Amino acid sequence: MLAWAVCICPFLRQLGHEVPPFGFELPGVTSISCDLHKFGYVPKGCSTILYRNKELRQHQIFSCSQWPGYTVVNPTVLSSKTGAPMAAAWAMFQYMGLEGYQNAVADCQAARDAVIAALEQLPSLALIGQPDMSLLAFASKDEDLSIFDLADQLNEKGWYVQVQLASPHSPAAIHLSISHFNCPHIPSFVADLQETVAELMSNPVEENELLAALDHSMLALLMEDFDPAMLGQFQELMGLESAEGGLPADMGAVNQLLNVLSAKQREDVLLAFMNELI
């Protein structure tokens, strides 16, 4: 089970929303994990995992006495670890309380509804699916509007949205995770989203010369025998200059390139890039 569902769905039910079955009431669910920093609003480094029964849980526990040192028994993969995140999580739970988390979820749902209402008024964008929670994604349904250029322009205005590359299951999209801290800023985001879409529709960003010249299938073919040494060559051919932080300034072109590659090719490119970056 995803942490989002664990942190949100129980409170949605308490607030009277219809929520599909989840958790251990479904026979196929054998474990539930949760990263508490997402919607529990605690510092990173504190996660939980629950198992349907002890028989399943025992396979996680590590025990070793086949060495000359002390016997080791650990319930998790990590051995020595700090208790600070757990103490911070406990403090946040005490501070928020049940009512606090209910209010946070209610605010997130209202913010989600505001974003969906705005998307319905933008004919060039389309909501993907029917989200039950405050997690949603939207794609472009107008060939003159690049979802990657839209993300770049929103980033320039201070909205650091996450792009999703196309997959066999969904088109390229922008992904939004609306948390309690985002809620007060949703009206400003919606206004900037509407403004940015209008700007791009009236004045589209010029397509990268290499991407425009090469057929997408040709690009994918060129990357079949990818070698890390090719990374700099592609960046140079595409005219991409790295910004101060190491990422190319034109991420729209980078995402357009990644979008036409297979999942394996994307991974090869990203691994090579990360290796150079660090």
Domain boundaries, the chain: 3-96, 102-202, 210-277
pLDDT (tens digit, 9 = 90+) per residue, 98-145? 999 999 999 999 999 999 999 999 999 999 999 988 999 999 999 889
d(CA 172, CA 154): 16
* CA nearest neighbour of 163 among 253, 235, 267: 253
- What is the mean predicted confidence (pLDDT) over 22-42? 90
Greatest Cα pair distance, the chain, in angstroms, is 73
First to last CA, the chain: 32
Q: Please report the pLDDT score of residue 266 as a whole number.
A: 85
| Most confident listed range (160-169, 210-219, 243-252) | 160-169
Token pair in block for residue 129: 């699916």
Domain 102-202: state its class.
Answer: alpha beta
pLDDT (tens digit, 9 = 90+) per residue, 175-218? 999 999 999 999 999 999 999 999 999 988 777 666 665 666 66
d(CA 109, CA 96): 18
* CA nearest neighbour of 127 among 191, 170, 185: 170
Give the model's confidence band at 1: pLDDT under 50 very low, under 70 low, under 90 confident, else very high. Answer: very low
Question: Is pLDDT of 228 > 50?
Answer: yes
- Return the bridge partners of 170, or none: 167
pTM confidence score: 0.84
